[in-house]
A and B are shown apart, each in its own frame.
Chain A
Amino acid sequence: MATSPRPPAAVAEALQFRPRWWWDPVPDWVLDHINPAAIREIAVVQLTSQLETLRVQEKALEASIAILRKQK
């Protein structure tokens, strides 16, 4: 992870390096608030919920197949 540059003690407050890119604020906000560990955690949550959805869909499909077989 890249780190913020260390301003040497010699640089006055007014002249310190303070990047602000107001034309692209959104990803800044997102990544300022979450770190790589959190990104992975979110991915785990997303995949887990996807898995859960697939399990429910699988059960529903099995039920549908059973009904269709009975009707046959």
Chain B
Amino acid sequence: MSAFPISLRAAGEPGVASISEFAAVARDTRRPVLLIGFLRQGNLGLGYLSATLRRFGYRVEVLDFESDVDELVAAACRLQPMLVGFSLIFQFYVRRYAALAQALRDSGVDAHFTIGGHFASLSSQETLNLVPEIDSIVRFEGELTLLELTDRVSVGADWRDVPGIAYRSAEGECHMTPARRLIHDLDTLPWPDRDYDPESILGQPAMPLIASRGCSRTCSFCSIHVFYRAVPGKVVRLRQPRQVVEEMAHLHHERGITIFLFQDDDFPLYGKVWQRWTRDLIRELYRADLVGRVIWKLNCRADAVEPELFAEMRDAGLYLVYMGLESGSEDGLDTLNKGVEVAQNLAAVRMLKELGLTFEFGFMMFDPSTTFESIRANVGFLEAIVGDGSNAAVFCRMLPYDGTPIKESLAREGRLRGDVCDPDYDFLDPRINALYEDLNDLVYVAGWIHGHRALSPKINWAWNELAVLDRLFPDLRGRARYEQSLRAITRASNDLLFRLVLDLAAAHEAGRSHRWNEERLAAPCDRLVERLAVARDGFVARNQTVLLRTIENQRLAVAA
């Protein structure tokens, strides 16, 4: 738990505005608060909420939404919480949350039910309609609103004027209170609770964290900028580099964490001010003696990649860069309002390769502007960036989530399809609809791009492991040969995937049949998975003694 106090924002904003006012608020902490959310990635949002409540004396239980419903109901009945907070981070879970809330009520859980997240914040009326058991919605950044709501509920006071919430009025309408300002100084929040075991990569424990909140860009498919711009306050807020590094040092020394995954909406890298911030972060990492002991990953856009700064970050532990490239066609990038050109995407990948940095990327082969020509451009782009086997090609279809500008524009054009749990749209050329269905069935059902059985993410995980091996372990026997094998497997997988997409596109464009089917794809897919397993496990098994000794030595050094 952090030693940093919470202080609240400027005068003139709605609600409680200073830590002393919060301290003076009447509260009854005897009954616990139950938070339920998707925990598989180490839910930082719930961690921040839980830490904030605990700081003010509340007992907080955090449960995994993926647990069995009966288990969640049993836990809630045992705990008898005063408030249950549901963290809805994927809008297509909304009906499952409704079912869970109903099951809790049916079992006699009489707590105040509240829900938060992007969808609930941006589509409050719909959320109240879809989840009838919910009493309120905590809209936008939730730490202070949830705290104030909990304080009111705990003493049985009226909560309907808490700033930043929505609730059902007596007439059944959605009533929203004035929005609460964004938290200006993120370092006034306690560090997030992380009451879970870390994920690990080759025995190296990994934890997520953030250095900033907000995004200055306006991509049409993303609701992040809408979420932060809908309320007063500065959109992008950066933590102090020293505070970020103190949190990293704490996690390294107390829990042995060696891999840090920055989950910022967009890591601050643009312009002189943010680049100075990043250089300060690097300096703090050296000062805390973490360089060489820990490595880190960040998410950014292609136009943030710049050789000098990235070389400095690499030397200070940056080992993996995730870029939202999104499209290899100019029309696609325009439709997605990315504000970059294909040439910038290509240049960013080239720079990362020259710097020897492993990269991953998000890519939307299909978006509302997709044509046969753009599909060919996208495949050409993927061939240009990963045709050398440096990474496995992955792609998806852009989906029109609530709160995004593109959803609004598709609705205006009458192209919006599906519903809240399955938002979708029609392509302008109906042949693309058929192509997408065909391709989707083949690559998904054959287990290529998505799912734990999938080939492309498995290959990329192997590249991720190799980057970890290079940074946290000594030189290993057969490393160069393993990289060659991995590259050959990746190239073979990419070649097959590109051929599939191009063949299918050509067939659908010409209105003729094609030769691909599940069985034809599954066999080479299986063979490549097998080759990957043999190459990877063989390499690891040959170096096992060194690897295990290194992990053990690192643990001993941390303990000392």
Contact = CB atoms under 8 A, between A and B. Distances in A.
Interface in A1-55: 1-8, 10-12, 14-15, 17-32, 36, 39
A25 B405 CA distance: 24
B444 interface: yes
A19 B457 contact: yes
B452 A17 contact: no
Given A2-B522, A19-B457, A22-B261, A28 B452 contact: yes
B518 interface: yes
A64 B168 CA distance: 38
The 5 closest A-B pairs by CB, nearest first: A5-B533, A31-B451, A27-B450, A19-B461, A14-B203
Nearest to A26: B90
Contact of B518 (A4, A23, A28, A36): A36
A28 B450 contact: yes
Contacts of B447: 1-2, 31
Interface residues of A, number: 31
Contact of A8 (B66, B360, B537): B537
Contacts of A20: 199, 461
Given A28-B451, A36-B518, A17 B533 contact: yes
B101 interface: no
Interface of A: 1-8, 10-12, 14-15, 17-32, 36, 39
Contacts of B169: none
Interface centre among A2, A7, A30, A32 (most CB of B within 10 A): A2
A14 B452 CA distance: 19
A11 B457 contact: no
Nearest to A20: B199
Interface of B: 38, 40-42, 66, 90, 92, 199-200, 202-203, 208, 261, 299, 322, 360, 362, 394, 444-455, 457-458, 460-462, 465, 518, 522, 525-526, 529-530, 532-533, 536-538, 540-541, 544, 547-548, 551
14 contacts: A7-B533, A17-B536, A17-B540, A19-B452, A19-B457, A21-B461, A24-B394, A24-B450, A26-B90, A29-B66, A30-B451, A31-B452, A31-B454, A36-B445
Contact of B322 (A23, A31, A36): A23
Contacts of B42: 22
Nearest to B360: A23
A61 to B, nearest CB: 21
Contacts of B40: 22, 25, 29
Contact of A15 (B449, B452, B547): B547
Contact of A2 (B41, B203, B525, B548): B525
